Amino acid sequence: MSRIVLVSNRVADLSRAAQAGGVVIAIADLLRSRNGLWLGWSGKIGEKSEEQRTAPDILETGTATVATLHLSNREYKEYYLGYSNGVLWPVFHSRLDLAQFEAGYYQRYLEVNRRFAQALRPLLRPHDTIWVHDYHMIPFGMELRKLGVENPMGFFLHIPVPPAQTFLAIPEHRELARGLAAYDLVGLQTRVDVGNLIDYLQDGVFGRLLQDGRIRAFDRELSIASFPVGIDVDSFIGSRPKRSREHPPTATRLIGVDRLDYTKGLPQKFRAFGRFLEKYPDYRRKVILSQIAPPTRESVVAYADIRHELETLSGTINGKFGELDWVPIQYIHRSTPRRMLVDVYRHSRIGFVTPLRDGMNLVAKEYVAAQDPEDPGVLILSRFAGAAEQMKQALIVNPYDVEEMADSIKVALEMGLQERQDRYQALVSGVRTHDTFAWCRSFLSALENVRRRGPQLPFDPPSEAAKKALQEIEHAHELPNIRSN
């Protein structure tokens, strides 16, 4: 079996993979079983000499190797905060209004990807299979191909693909598409994402759908398919009894666990809970919303804005409805240990997961896995989370519709035991079947199958003349009709 080489923006500590949860558990397993190598950013920021910049620090951990590189201050600002999180993250989540296009970060984004590719090149072996992850690393494969690497190479995008018209708004969309075309397989979270990417490649860069389902773009043939990410179910099975006899719960809990990100729909969630308390006053003092929202990317302005908005909203709702012995919203802006999360999931009657847009959303799956099969809670899930494509037995809501979300809380609270059990059984069986290990296996076996069809044409960057001709054709195509009247 060939060695596996993973590339992602950050690497995780393999000795603590079990605590990290999510996809890291499966990735650690994969690396150990296939003598793998993982390359990524160390998380450190600092200046280094030119030579050190492409010489990664190497850590051997049993059968796996982890290779890390530092970012300079400027790279951190322009590649990580700037292009990755100030342009690609908002656009891919359909928030064009927040994208910092004009800042000119693309060049640094490309340079970091090039540098990472140069660092990996000497570490590669002829039969390695390369798996690149997420939006920070789209051009990585193209840069590696330019260095003559023709190994099988797959890319997995953890975030959604926006509709074609939104993708086209990125000034560098052609370059991103060229980057994607350098891979043999592009894996996405959902079938909707697959449709969006194929539409974009056809409309935006004249991609041609082939009879075998692949798409031809930039002289390469690319497979695109969905591989929904899952969790390690066993690590979320709650072990404690549902309720402690000594301390019976005073209120029924709704639980939300989301990084503090504008894509997660937190203000709408808080408003819906406030609306629920207003519309159904009998439930006052009987329910609480616990929202765990650890900080992320605080140096990006939009993140400071959302934090401020949430503090104001929770204060307003608590001030309006709270009593001396009851605070309706518990808002915790810190990370919580995972063991504690499992217990909180299990002791919450409702999992309230309402992102405005999300690639998958692992919290929805974790909540279901943690339930007591004898007395399970109810999952309220946004239709715009990738997870909604699989988790149809959840109460599916529109996260922009505060009224509908408020009503769904009541429906969930009043749902009978039999219905809760039926929905839970269907949901948990899906979560088990499509777990994190299945995700890993299915992506890699698809990548190996794609390559069995035969090698690609060598990656040949277009000449300047070809680039210019292509741009002229595309611009002619994009010009608005000039009407004579």
Residue 30 or residue 292: which is nearer to ligand GDG going by CB?
292
CA distance 268 to 257: 14
Q: Minimal distance in Å, beta carbon 388 to ligand GDG?
A: 12
Region 395-424 residues binding ligand GDG, contact defined as CB under 6 A: none
Q: Minimal distance in Å, beta carbon 296 to ligand GDG?
A: 8
Give the gyration radius of the chain's Cα atoms.
24
Residue 312 or residue 336: which is nearer to ligand GDG going by CB?
336
Region 291-350 residues binding ligand GDG, contact defined as CB under 6 A: 292, 294, 335-338, 341
Residue 69 or residue 363: which is nearer to ligand GDG going by CB?
363
Among candidate residues 158, 184, 258, 347, the one labeled active-site is 158
Instruction: Give the number of other CB atoms < 10 A from CB of residue 453.
Output: 12
Per rule CB under 6 A, is residue 22 in the interface with ligand GDG? yes
Residue 70 or residue 158: which is nearer to ligand GDG going by CB?
158
Residue 14 or residue 217: which is nearer to ligand GDG going by CB?
14
Cβ-contact 368, 395 below 8 angstroms? no
Per rule CB under 6 A, is residue 259 in the interface with ligand GDG? yes
Per rule CB under 6 A, is residue 232 in the interface with ligand GDG? no
Residue 250 or residue 433: which is nearer to ligand GDG going by CB?
433
Q: Minimal distance in Å, beta carbon 121 to ligand GDG?
A: 27
Q: Which of 224, 223, 218 is nearest to 459 (CA)?
A: 218
Of 18-26, 75-83, 428-436, 447-455, which part binds ligand GDG (CB under 6 A)?
18-26
CA distance 341 to 293: 12
Region 341-370 residues binding ligand GDG, contact defined as CB under 6 A: 341, 358-363, 366
Q: Which of 20, 14, 382, 381 is nearest to 231 (CA)?
A: 20
Q: Minimal distance in Å, beta carbon 158 to ligand GDG?
A: 4
CA distance 446 to 466: 33
Query: Binding mask 25-54 vs ligand GDG (x if CB under 6 A, - otherwise)?
Result: ------------------------------
Among candidate residues 128, 193, 258, 358, the one labeled active-site is 358
Q: Minimal distance in Å, beta carbon 327 to ligand GDG?
A: 20
Query: Binding mask 420-449 vs ligand GDG (x if CB under 6 A, - otherwise)?
Result: ------------------------------
Per rule CB under 6 A, is residue 381 in the interface with ligand GDG? no
Q: Minimal distance in Å, beta carbon 111 to ligand GDG?
A: 25
Query: Binding mask 147-166 vs ligand GDG (x if CB under 6 A, - otherwise)?
Result: -----------xx-------
**Residue 358 annotated among the catalytic residues of the structure:** yes
Size of the site for ligand GDG (CB under 6 A): 22
CA distance 140 to 18: 28
**Residue 158 annotated among the catalytic residues of the structure:** yes
CA distance 159 to 167: 13
Positions touching ligand GDG (CB under 6 A) are: 21-23, 158-159, 229, 257, 259, 292, 294, 335-338, 341, 358-363, 366
* Residues with catalytic function: 158, 358
